[in-house]
Amino acid sequence: MGKRVAICAVAQIKNEGDLWHARFQNMLLECFESVMQQTGVTFDMEKGIRNVVTCSDDVFDARTISNNGMTDVVGAHLRGEEKMAQESLNGLGYAMASILSGHDDAILFMGHMKESQGESRRMVSNLSFDPFYCRPLGLDNMNMNALQARAYGQRSGVQEEHLARIVVRSRKNAKKNPYARENEEIDEAKVMSSPLLADPLRELHYYPITDWAFGMLLCCEERAKEFSKNPVWITGFANCMDSYFPGDREYVSNFSLKKASERAYKMAGIKDPKKDIQIFELCDHAAYQLPMWAEGIGIVDEGKGGAWVDKGGMDKFHVNLSGGMLNGNPFLLGGAARAIECFYQLRGEAGDRQVDGVKKALAHGTYGAAGQHQAVVIMEA
């Protein structure tokens, strides 16, 4: 294993369904000020932040190169500013690479998304498909998730009851997370009677529309103590892109997630994730994805997702104690939210959710339709 990269501080606002009273600049500014205050980092060109990585989505922000609206509030004025127009976990990987290369000592990593702003989240995801062959058919992420959910259910034995349990558990866990979106408490019967969006996906199987922003300070190992007494370390990162055209992919193969996690494990020196990692935060946009991604990262045998849920695997392996994506994080930022939860757990600051003796944690992020693109970060105390 090579050098480690430190996460010295994280900041976030509470996940909300509709932050009608703030624009994204206001959301980011809170996070920015919190990171500055926690770390005392400066923008000195020798000793401080020379480069800021931001994460945002052009369509949700309704502006091309949408980072143009955020440079002021993230301190990026008159220095490097680079946008990750991808799942936020890749921004973490990118910042890590900038530091490991020696180009930067410290990187401020900021992200925001207001899903409430667009008239339809589905219209936005429709735009991510090929404009000539797929968009006109009405393909969007929800369609793709339904195709995948059905295929996965058949293969893994994940049934309606399992999905209901996953949703109810997510909301229960989120109650212990002060930054989680506040959702109504529900029981399994309510999940199973919620409207079908695209069979087998029901409304409550799907993550709710959410606004959120975050910030992090990453730093090289040599200087981490300048900004934090107890930094958390990134020791592994990898991502993998599967085919863009839906017809080119096997929806339940977990191809890209297996590749990404294998490479992240190798970098972090992890032999057996079941034994070596204590916290797993998975990017479950829809309920069926939680056991499916658990298979992909290798903590559940392939095709055994249903039985794993039955046997209490989600609690045994400490999966999504934050409430997960399913409780509500904006689409682009699910991975950053997962990493932030891992950060709290590794520092022993996870409050009522805290697990004892957490040494290693896995944060997962996925983007593109039905897990096309996958990223995995391994973090250590």
Partner 1 sequence: MAEYWGVKVGDIFNTMPERFREEGARDVDASFGYDIAGEGKWKITVKGGTLKVEKIDDLSGCASIMLCDGETFVGVNTGKVDSVNAFTSGKVKVEGDFGAFGKTAKMFKKFVIGRKEMSTKDYILDMFGSLVSRFQPQNAKDLNATITYQIGGEGGGVWTATIKDGTCELKEGHVEKPTVRLEVNEASDWVDVMLGKTDPFSLLSAGRAAIAGETALALKLGEIFAKYQPPSSTDGEPEQELIVLKKTIAVNQRFATGPVMGRFLNALKEKKIFGTKCPTCGRIQLPAREVCADCRVRADEWVEVGPKGQVRYMEYVYYASPDPLTGETRETPYGMLNILLDGCGGNDTFAHLVRRDQLDLIKGGHYEISGTRVRPVWSDKRVGSIFDIKYFEIDE
The label of the residue with tokens 């919190």 reads: 34
Q: Which is nearer to partner 1, 84 or 124 (CB)?
A: 124
CB of 113 to partner 1, least distance (A): 13
The answer to whether the beta carbons of residues 50 and 104 sit under 8 Å apart is: yes
Which residue in 332, 126, 74, 124 sits closest to 211, CA to CA?
A: 332
CB of 195 to partner 1, least distance (A): 23
Write out 270-328 in H/E/C secondary structure.
CCCHHHHCCEEECCCCECCHHHHHHHHCCCCCCCCHHHHHHCCHHHHCCECCCCHHHHH
CB of 49 to partner 1, least distance (A): 10
Which residue in 213, 38, 201, 5 sits closest to 110, CA to CA?
A: 213
CB of 120 to partner 1, least distance (A): 7
Q: Which is nearer to partner 1, 38 or 194 (CB)?
A: 38
Structure tokens at 308: 């794993």
Q: Which is nearer to partner 1, 211 or 341 (CB)?
A: 211
CB of 201 to partner 1, least distance (A): 22
The answer to whether the beta carbons of residues 109 and 9 sit under 8 Å apart is: no
Chain residues in the site for partner 1 (CB under 8 A): 19-23, 25-26, 29, 36, 43, 59, 62, 71-73, 75, 77-78, 114, 116-120, 123-124, 127, 131-132
Which residue in 203, 158, 212, 166 sits closest to 27, CA to CA?
A: 212
Q: Which is nearer to partner 1, 124 or 340 (CB)?
A: 124
Q: Which is nearer to partner 1, 124 or 339 (CB)?
A: 124
